[in-house]
Amino acid sequence: MAGSFVQARRLPRFAYSVHWASGIAAGVALADTAGADIVAGLSALLGIVVWLLFRRRTPWLVAGLAVTTGLLAGALRYGCVDSTLDLPPDRSDVAFAGCLRSGVRQNPHGWSASADVRLDGSDALVHVRIAGNDRVELAAGDCISGRGSFHRPARPLHQYTWDPRRMARAEGIVGTIYLEAGSARRTGRSNTVWLRIRRTVEEARADVEHRLRQIVPPEDIGWVLALGTGTRSELGEDAVRALRDSGMAHLLAISGLHLGLTLVFLTSILRRLIRRVSILTRWFPSHRLEGPIAIVLAWTYCLFTGAATSTVRAALFLSIVWSQELLGLRRDGAASLSLTGAVLLLLHPDQLFLPGFQLSFVAVAAILIASHRPPSNGGARFSMVRVGALLAGLARVSLFVAIATAPITAYHFGVISVSGVFANMLVAPWLSVGLVGSAGLAVFFSPWWSPASRLCAEVCCILGRVG
C-alpha cells in the first residue's frame, strides 16, 4: 500500500482496484485472527484513505463500497472460522501411511518433508521429520509407512503473537510426525502430473548439487549451495550468525532478491537474443515473448530451490508484473504488490503476522518508493556520471529498505543493523547474480569443457569468500 502514495493521482483503474482488494484481504486476515470489531475500524479507515487518495477521480460511492465490502468479508470470514482448534492429541507411538508431497530435504535438525498421510483412520496432512544425518533417499510421490511420535503445532508465546496452529489448520496440517532414521519404508509411488514435475525438478537439483560438490572445494560448498539451490545444511553456525548480525541474513533465503536479480539478468540477455531473430519479431512483439518465458523461468527456479514460502511470494509478484505487460497494461509495481498481497492473504490470512511476510512486502514497498524517479535525459552509454548515479541509487534503495524494515526486525528479532545498509548495497547485487551465474556456468561446462568449468568454479569460490 505504501507505493500507492507515489502514484496516487495517476493510477489506472486496474491499479486502484487491486489496492482496494489488498486492503479488503488485510481486513479479512485480521478478522480471522483478531475479531470482527478490529476489521470494522480498519475497513472504515480504508474507506477514508481511498476517498482521500482518489476524491477527485472516484465518487463517494467507492469509499462506501470499500467499507461495506471490508465489513461483509471480515464478518463472513470471522463467522465461518471456529475459534477452537480440533487437533488430535500428542502421541508417542502412532502408525501412519501416506504419500510425500515433496522430497525429503536436509536441515540443521535432520531431514524433513510434507506428506499426505492416513493418521488415526482419517486423511490428513503432516510434516515428517527424520532424525539423524544419514542421507534419506525419498522423493516426491513416494508412498511410505511406519511408526513415530505425533506432536501438534506449538502454542503461541502470547495472545498478540500469530498462532502457528491456526496457520497450520489453514494449510490442512494437523501436526508433525517425528521418526528415527530407517523407521519409514517405501511402499510404492504415486504418478500424478504434479508429483512427476516435483520429482523431476528435485532430481535435477540433486544432480546439480552433486556436480557442484565435485568441482567446488569443501570449504566453499556451503555458500554455493545456500545461494544457488537453497540448501543451508552445510553452512556453519558461525557463518549464519555473522550474516544475521550484519543484517544480511536474507542473502541465505532464496526469495525476491535472488529471483528478481536472476530474472533481470536472464531477461536482459533474452531480450537481446529475441531482437536478433527477425522471424520472431516479425510475428510477435518482443515483450509478448519475454513475458511467458520469464514467468516459466520464475516458477522453474522457484521449484528448483524447494518452493519455499518466500520464493512463491516472489514468483507470484514477478508473474503479475509480467502479466500486466502481456495484457497491454502499464507496469505498476505498487499494483502488482497489492494484488500479490491480496491473493496470499485470502488463501492464508495468518501470513499477515509472519515476520517473513511483513519484511518482504515492506522491503518491496520501500524499493518501489526509492526507485521512483523521473526518466533519464540520455547521454553517454558509459560515464562516471552514470556510474555515480547508479551507486547513489543503490545507496538510496538500501537506506530506504533498512529504515522501513528496522521496526519489524527490532520487534521480532531484537536487532537493528546499521552496517546492513552498506553491505546490502555492495554485496547483495554481486553475490546474487555473480555467484549463482558462475555456479551455473560451472555446472554447464563440467561434462564437456573442464578448464572453463574449473575457472567458473574458482570465480564462484572467490565471490563466496568475499561475501
> Nearest CA to 26 among 59, 49, 56, 54?
49
Whether residue 120 contacts residue 98, with contact meaning beta carbons closer than 8 Å, is answered with: no
- Residue-wise pLDDT for 334-378, tens only, equals 777 777 776 776 666 666 667 777 777 787 877 777 765 544 444
Q: Which amino acid is at 22?
A: S
pLDDT of residue 182: 61
Whether residue 298 contacts residue 259, with contact meaning beta carbons closer than 8 Å, is answered with: yes
SS3 100: strand
Distance separating alpha carbons of residues 276 and 263, to the nearest angstrom: 20
pLDDT of residue 158: 47
- Residue in the structure block whose three cell numbers are 486502484: 16
CA angle 391, 397, 403 (to 5 degrees): 135
Whether residue 289 contacts residue 280, with contact meaning beta carbons closer than 8 Å, is answered with: yes
Alpha-carbon separation of residue 57 from 18, 60, 66, 330 (angstroms) = 16, 10, 15, 19
Whether residue 370 contacts residue 396, with contact meaning beta carbons closer than 8 Å, is answered with: yes
pLDDT of residue 344: 76
Lookup: cell for 261:
536479480
pLDDT of residue 216: 72
Q: Which amino acid is at 84?
A: T
CB atoms within 10 A of CB 377: 5
Alpha-carbon separation of residue 291 from 62, 176, 204 (angstroms) = 33, 39, 24
pLDDT of residue 411: 73
**pTM, two decimal places:** 0.63
Distance separating alpha carbons of residues 424 and 464, to the nearest angstrom: 15
List, as own/partner pairs, every contact residues 266-271 make where C-beta atoms lie below 8 angstroms and the sequence separation is at least 24, other chains included: 266/294, 266/297, 267/293, 267/294, 270/294
Distance separating alpha carbons of residues 183 and 147, to the nearest angstrom: 7
Q: What are the mean pLDDT values of the chain's consecutive 10-residue runs (467 residues total)?
A: 40 51 54 47 52 49 48 48 55 76 63 66 68 63 78 59 56 71 71 73 75 72 67 63 58 62 73 69 66 81 72 82 76 73 68 72 78 52 62 72 77 66 58 67 68 71 62
**91-190: CATH number:** 2.40.50
DSSP letter assigned to residue 431: I
Every domain of the chain with CATH number 2.40.50 lies at: 91-190
